[in-house]
Chains A and B, each alone.
Chain A
């Protein structure tokens, strides 16, 4: 589409824009400076490959104002920082998406993820940037979510020329220099740059917007599926020495054959008793309670399938009766209003036989017991997106205690 193919790349203008971008977003400076620019007449605007090279069209630089170029710089580097090429490859494998059309969709989805929150505040949105709104999609989602919600069609017609390179969608272009070309960053170097940027953001969290802060937190510690974590936490609590396992003289040990005349105890597992305290206060929704109950059933299977060994204590401001799980799924989850998990703990620990493990399913807006209970504790914590809606309306600044150190905490959802 470029007509003036003779014009040389205006490096001064390009680097002026980069300087402005680095001033507007100081926490991205390291990543911006790590990009190696390559002049290319094959790319419509600017594009990146997965080796952190940035391909620039000279005519695009000529016709674009500096402040818009700065926005494009930040946009392109965001593709790389957010690992859109790696994520595109993974999505393509998981959902078996093949062909250039799908890669174009990934590029559009990745652009949506970036563009809904990087511009503004001293950074101009470049002409023609894709936004979720132009596809009639909500903002604030991830590329993988956007990808499910639109198809190529009339609405994306004018985006067909859109090309942010293999750094955005994982598909190698023939005009790219490839892994063996000069000035590429190795995987370790790419991780190091991303790490330094993430560290800069978490070190000074005030200056970066929410989206970048979340990225920085999760860049090297992606969240894990909570079901697996909760299951592992309960299993490990229930099977740890002292909980469900001990030496017993009830059966002779395997070793006894080698030691005639002596009786050796053998290590025997007895199925552990688990008490599940469910927070039924008004701050926990019915949907959350439903999924909590499902988890209770799963936990009962995880500790050996003995449903009679799992007790459920619904708890709001006062703990009610402890129900054995074997009495069908119809445990009445009474309650509403405030929570006091101390009552729930007291109730669970008073029950007979004493629990080996206490599992608490709560949103955490509660006072916790002051001292460590005499058994292992696992807390499944429902996320609270609106910290303002605390249970104490008289004191809007009230922040509930976080779960105590002695509990293993798993974030649910």
Chain B
């Protein structure tokens, strides 16, 4: 028989029970501080929740999805309701029939579960559907209605209820089903990963605190305009991107483009613009809504919308700064030359030369070679060569030296074969 316990025995002088001491220790362990740290995952999550779009967090079990949700609910001041989707039956989301006195007269109402009633009574809240990917297909079908129409049985969720779901990736969900394409299309998919440094520092007692994006009221109109322009410009040029069911196995269960997800994208761009979050956050959101390929095309389009307008530059070559990055700068110069080609006249041609000289003075010379060659070929017989061209003599030499090097390289690689 053990006569001693590992805890101090209570005595009259020491009224603490062993559990009280344990509680003290637990309290000390729970006391952690936070430090500000940029976290684009959390920013993206917050923005999507603010935009009232259902978010689906993909992540390995145990990496802090629930902790992130708790933090989000606290910072948005919303009560958190967690529902584990995989342990429920379809009827828990579509409602259980309750027979009244006279079914033929009154019908059979579909009663919602208690958590839904509480959520509706509160009028606002964050509904967290955990373990979505391990929910059987019939449950997923019932969830469709909850996520899209926000209805549980006869109950309608109030507009201030936001929905976030979580799922384990197929590689770690041992007996998981995959998400059906219609359900996948209703979510903004965010990959949730852990940062090694954050975890180590957090276990040491300091967790990160993200600054959450705030919408600027004065930028709303501009944001809507920008978002519409961005999405419509892309889809007008690339009709194929409007609707693409996932056709390869590896893309199943993930985001894919459809008119619905494009509308979600439009909303996300507007929210991102109004809150001024970084392109990295927007990139996560857009690629998580319409998929990597269409998302990246949209982002490339946004980059082009940011570039100076060729017509403005032609009207006044000193009007705007040329981008510092070489590939963007070349895109601008190419755009200017293309604008001259589409409507050639003497003044525009001269302005383009002036612009090329400016590009040469402020950046790498090899970027100017192709636009200069193209621009020279646009010359009409009665146009005199502008004096500015003399400044471009170095470019010609550069181009010639590159040609010579290419010729040497050609013979060298031929000999080697």
Question: A residues near B, CB below 8 A?
Answer: 11-12, 15-20, 22-24, 29-37, 65-67, 70, 119-125, 183, 185-189, 191-193, 195-196, 199, 220-221, 223-225, 228-229, 232-233, 235-236, 239-241, 245, 253-255, 258-262, 264, 267, 302, 408-411
Known: A34-B325, A34-B327. A409 touches B178 (CB 8 A): no
Known: A192-B300, A241-B138, A259-B108. A36 touches B250 (CB 8 A): no
Q: Choose, from B1-9, B49-57, B64-72, B94-102, the stretch at the interface.
A: B94-102
State whether A241 touches B137 (Cβ < 8 A).
yes
> CA of A403 to CA of B299 in the docked complex: distance in angstroms?
34
State whether A221 touches B292 (Cβ < 8 A).
yes
Known: A33-B326, A221-B250. A16 touches B292 (CB 8 A): no
Which residues of chain B from 259 to 290 have any CB-CB distance to chain A below 8 Å in the complex? 278-280, 282-283
> CA of A183 to CA of B292 in the docked complex: distance in angstroms?
25
State whether A19 touches B296 (Cβ < 8 A).
no
Judged by a CB distance under 8 angstroms, whether B346 is at the interface is: no
Known: A192-B303, A240-B137. A19 touches B326 (CB 8 A): no
Q: How many A-B residue pairs lie within 8 Å, measured between CB atoms? A: 184
State whether B410 touches A259 (Cβ < 8 A).
no
Checking A16, A223, A240 against B402 with a beta-carbon cut-off of 8 angstroms, the contacting residue is: A16
- Chain B's nearest CB lies how many Å from the CB of A6? 23
Known: A20-B405, A122-B410. A261 touches B99 (CB 8 A): yes
- Chain A's nearest CB lies how many Å from the CB of B30? 29
State whether B366 touches A16 (Cβ < 8 A).
yes
Known: A17-B405, A36-B325. A123 touches B90 (CB 8 A): no
Count how many chain B residues have C-beta atoms less than 8 Å from C-beta atoms of the other chain: 65
> CA of A16 to CA of B280 in the docked complex: distance in angstroms?
33
State whether A24 touches B409 (Cβ < 8 A).
yes
Which residues of chain B from 339 to 390 have any CB-CB distance to chain A below 8 Å in the complex? 364-367, 369
Bitwise, B132-167 to A at CB < 8 A (1) or not (0) is: 000011100100000000000000000000000000
Question: B residues near A, CB below 8 A?
Answer: 89-91, 96-99, 108, 111, 136-138, 141, 170-171, 175-178, 248-253, 278-280, 282-283, 292-293, 296-297, 299-300, 303, 324-330, 364-367, 369, 394, 398-399, 401-406, 408-410, 412-413, 416-417
> CA of A106 to CA of B278 in the docked complex: distance in angstroms?
32
State whether A22 touches B299 (Cβ < 8 A).
no
> CA of A192 to CA of B402 in the docked complex: distance in angstroms?
28
Checking A12, A67, A267 against B398 with a beta-carbon cut-off of 8 angstroms, the contacting residue is: A12
> Which 4 A-B pairs give the minimum distances between C-beta atoms?
A33-B326, A66-B405, A19-B366, A188-B283
- Chain A's nearest CB lies how many Å from the CB of B337? 16
> CA of A20 to CA of B398 in the docked complex: distance in angstroms?
10
> CA of A252 to CA of B330 in the docked complex: distance in angstroms?
71
